[in-house]
Amino acid sequence: EAGVTQFPSHSVIEKGQTVTLRCDPISGHDNLYWYRRVMGKEIKFLLHFVKESKQDESGMPNNRFLAERTGGTYSTLKVQPAELEDSGVYFCASSQEPARNLNTEAFFGQGTRLTVV
Amino acid sequence: DAKTTQPPSMDCAEGRAANLPCNHSTISGNEYVYWYRQIHSQGPQYIIHGLKNNETNEMASLIITEDRKSSTLILPHATLRDTAVYYCIVRVAWGSGGSNYKLTFGKGTLLTVNP
């Protein structure tokens, strides 16, 4: 079974440009999460989808970040326009918790390393 | 979520047991203890989780104290490939949504397994 896959693995863009990151969760996983680690900091939660609905987007840093999950399958995270401080590694994770019982693990992708120059 | 405290780094000899401690003195009765690790340049990897009882799987054992204020992750026979940052995370066991689902990562413990 394929794990969580993220594309691209690396991206280098100039300040002011737009970048779109993609995440394909494990098939059948309704829950999809985005996290990121910026240089020297801890891994931080960005947002959580349940199917196509945003369940929690409290970690999104500002309105330059837009996440979508049309159809409840793969998700995209767009950064527009990118700033230098957006550089870091963006992780996607998915899980299959049944409603209300959070007794399962999340599976993470390998991440996308974003460098804004 | 309750905060956790872990030592910043530990060393272990290859083939020996690695015992990684975690303090979570403010844990609530409905919060699980989860352990993840991140091997360099990879995404976080789930290891094990537990609520009250000790747990064991093919990767590790989790020992939770009776008062649940601390726990220890045990890698019974550490190998060089176990060198990674290990994260102890507490997370609510059930909920109807909101922010309950997210994982809150701290700084973790850098475990270095030496030959």
For residue A15, is it left (φ>0), alpha (ψ between -120 and 50) or beta?
beta
pLDDT surpassing 60 at residue B98: no
pLDDT surpassing 80 at residue B50: yes
C-alpha torsion angle, residues B97, A30, B56, B96 (rounded to 10): 10
Q: What pLDDT sits at residue B29?
A: 85
Q: What are residue A34's phi and psi, to 5 degrees?
A: -115, 135
pLDDT surpassing 60 at residue B7: yes
The 10s digit of each residue's pLDDT in A81-99 is 999 999 999 999 999 876 5
B75/B17 Cα distance (integer angstroms): 6
B21/B13 Cα distance (integer angstroms): 17
B97/A54 Cα distance (integer angstroms): 11
Return the residue of A nearest to B47 by Cα: A105
CB contact residues (below 8 A), chain A span 45-64, against chain B: 45, 48, 50, 55-56, 58-59
Give yes or no for a cis peptide into A8 (omega within 30° of 0): yes
- For A64, the token pair is 């330059």
The 10s digit of each residue's pLDDT in A57-76 is 999 999 999 999 988 899 99
Q: Does B43 touch chain A (CB under 8 A)?
A: yes
The CA distances from residue B54 to B48, B61, B63, in Å, are 10, 7, 5
The 10s digit of each residue's pLDDT in A7-62 is 999 999 999 999 999 999 999 899 999 999 998 899 999 999 989 999 889 999 99
Q: What pLDDT sits at residue A96?
A: 84
3-state SS, one letter per residue, for A65-117: EEEECHHHCCEEEEECCCCHHHCEEEEEEEECCCCCECCCCCEECCCEEEEEC
A83 alpha-carbon distance from chain centroid: 17
- For residues B65 and B71, the answer to whether their CB atoms sit within 8 Å is yes
For residue B58, is it left (φ>0), alpha (ψ between -120 and 50) or beta?
alpha
B84/B5 Cα distance (integer angstroms): 17
Instruction: Tell me the shortest Cα–Cα distance from A80 to chain B, in angstroms.
Output: 24
